Amino acid sequence: MENIVSVSIKTAPGAQTASAESWYRASAINSLPVTTVRENVQCRVCVVGGGFAGLATAVGLQERGFNDVLVVEAGEVGHGASGRNGGFIFGGYSLSPQALVKQQGEARAREMYQLTTAAVGLIEQRVKAYAIDCQHRAAGVMLADWFNRPDLLQQKQRFMQQKLATSWEFYPRSELRRQLDSERYYDGLLEREAAHFNPLQYAQGLAAKLQRGGVEVWQNSPVTEIKAKGNKWQLAVAGVHVETEIVVLACGGYQKILRAPPRSAILPIATYIMVTEALPESLPELISQPWAVYDTRFAFDYYRPLPGQRLLWGGRISIRDPQPQIIEAMLRRDLARVFPQLTEVKADYVWSGLMGYSRQQMPMIGQSKPGLWHLTGFGGHGVAPTTAVGELLAAAISEGDQRYRWFDHYALKPVFGHLGLLAAQLNYWQYALRDWWRDPQK
């Protein structure tokens, strides 16, 4: 690609974007070269969105020797959900495994599920192969039972094994209590192959790998318009035009300014995270395994230990964006309910992020017009699935692989804007109420 000038910037903590408030952003040293666009350019593939979906597609293409690719990101790489999530890397999709089997049948559901467990491994491989410093820990993810229903937990374990060929380990309550010092939980299921990491550093590491291999990543470069030009596409980006044969729209829940097909099929729903101040010496006593943990409620908490004796704690969803003080108060209440020992612990960082939900809670991949691809709708469970489905898209573009059609069932369907958001919020409250009703410790 020609006529591009590269400069290096550092991201200043406290910069204006909302993500600057996250612990990830505040502790990151962004040495990713930022490319400033000067003139019109041409490329084979233009990926719009520098989140995991866009980056996984671009890296997948590059790994297949396909380098005439440009990635264009409205903010900084990882500005969206990918650079501010909980960092859980585990199998599955936002849609429950039971619903996946029901919709797809056992054989296809198993293949689709295994795409995501393979992606857990692929992420680790890429971390190692590209020397990405992102605190990757292959420590496992624990699903802790909130409801004292060992029968349901064992049923889930059997289901996962028999239908989806995964082996989750059962932890009786006494054993779990030795690892997590909380009265809240009963038994647990450990997904041992799962992992956690610093997602922003991973996103930046992928972008750096792309740039080293000759794929440009333009940051602070919003795409404002896409139109057909002959049998190609023309994108308006920060005052210049990009002409390309193939467009990949991977904008998640952040596709605000661009009127292009996936937008009306995505509900942007907020969820929250805080990172505590450094805890006194007690963290290893409270959580003695370096697992990432979530629980069996619909409206679950999720947390994991961070370097520096901090705890990352997340939960809740909302269609509103409340003040950080309100989020902090909610999350600290949730934390104290599980670990009353930490009632006085404060949050140093509090932030929110937008998940892009489709109506079917499954990723949507396909072409709305020839050459105009979309890859979106990963919801609240997207780290491994973006990698998995990004691989399918890279294989489709470079090799004509048709496996992406496994997702044909999940076409772009309208979500009806504010009405859809309201319905999602009511649905969440209804399930949260059901969680409360079933809580044996209420």
Ligand X SMILES: Cc1cc2nc3c(=O)[nH]c(=O)nc-3n(C[C@H](O)[C@H](O)[C@H](O)COP(=O)(O)OP(=O)(O)OC[C@H]3O[C@@H](n4cnc5c(N)ncnc54)[C@H](O)[C@@H]3O)c2cc1C
Rounded to a whole number of angstroms, the minimum distance from the CB of residue 213 to ligand X is: 20
Rounded to a whole number of angstroms, the minimum distance from the CB of residue 219 to ligand X is: 9
Rounded to a whole number of angstroms, the minimum distance from the CB of residue 42 to ligand X is: 18
Which residue stretch of 35-43, 252-260, 317-325, 425-433 sits at the interface with ligand X (rule: CB under 6 A)?
Answer: 252-260
Counting contacts by CB under 6 A, is residue 80 touching ligand X? yes
Q: Which of 60, 97, 140, 253: binder of ligand X (CB under 6 A)?
A: 253
Q: Which of 20, 43, 45, 53: binder of ligand X (CB under 6 A)?
A: 53
Counting contacts by CB under 6 A, is residue 383 touching ligand X? yes
Counting contacts by CB under 6 A, is residue 305 touching ligand X? no
The footprint of ligand X on residues 341-360 (CB under 6 A) is 353-356
Q: How many residues bind ligand X (CB under 6 A)?
A: 45
Which residue stretch of 1-9, 47-55, 105-113, 278-286 sits at the interface with ligand X (rule: CB under 6 A)?
Answer: 47-55
String of contacts with ligand X for each residue 203-232, x by CB under 6 A: -------------------xx---------
The footprint of ligand X on residues 392-421 (CB under 6 A) is none
For the chain, give the secondary structure using H, E and C: CCCEEEEECCCCCCCCCHHHHCHHHHHCCCCCEEEEECCCEEEEEEEECCCHHHHHHHHHHHHCCCCCEEEECCCCCCCCHHHCCCCEECCCCCCCHHHHHHHHCHHHHHHHHHHHHHHHHHHHHHHHHCCCCCCCECCCEEEECCCCCHHHHHHHHHHHHHHHCCCCEEECHHHHHHHECCCCCCCEEEECCCEECCHHHHHHHHHHHHHHCCCEEECCCCEEEEEEECCEEEEEECCEEEEEEEEEECCHHHCCCCCCHHHHHCEEEEEEEEEECCCCCCHHHHECCCCEEEECCCCCCEEEEEHHHEEEEEEEEECCCCCHHHHHHHHHHHHHHHCHHHCCCCEEEEEEEEEEECCCCCCEEEEEECCEEEEECCCCCCHHHHHHHHHHHHHHHHHCCCHHHHHCCCCCCCCCHHHHHHHHHHHHHHHHHHHHHHCCCC
Counting contacts by CB under 6 A, is residue 251 touching ligand X? yes
Rounded to a whole number of angstroms, the minimum distance from the CB of residue 406 to ligand X is: 18
Rounded to a whole number of angstroms, the minimum distance from the CB of residue 389 to ligand X is: 9
Q: Which of 23, 25, 45, 54: binder of ligand X (CB under 6 A)?
A: 54
Binding residues vs ligand X (CB under 6 A)? 48-54, 72-75, 79-82, 84-88, 222-223, 250-255, 257-258, 271, 273, 314, 353-356, 376, 378-383, 386
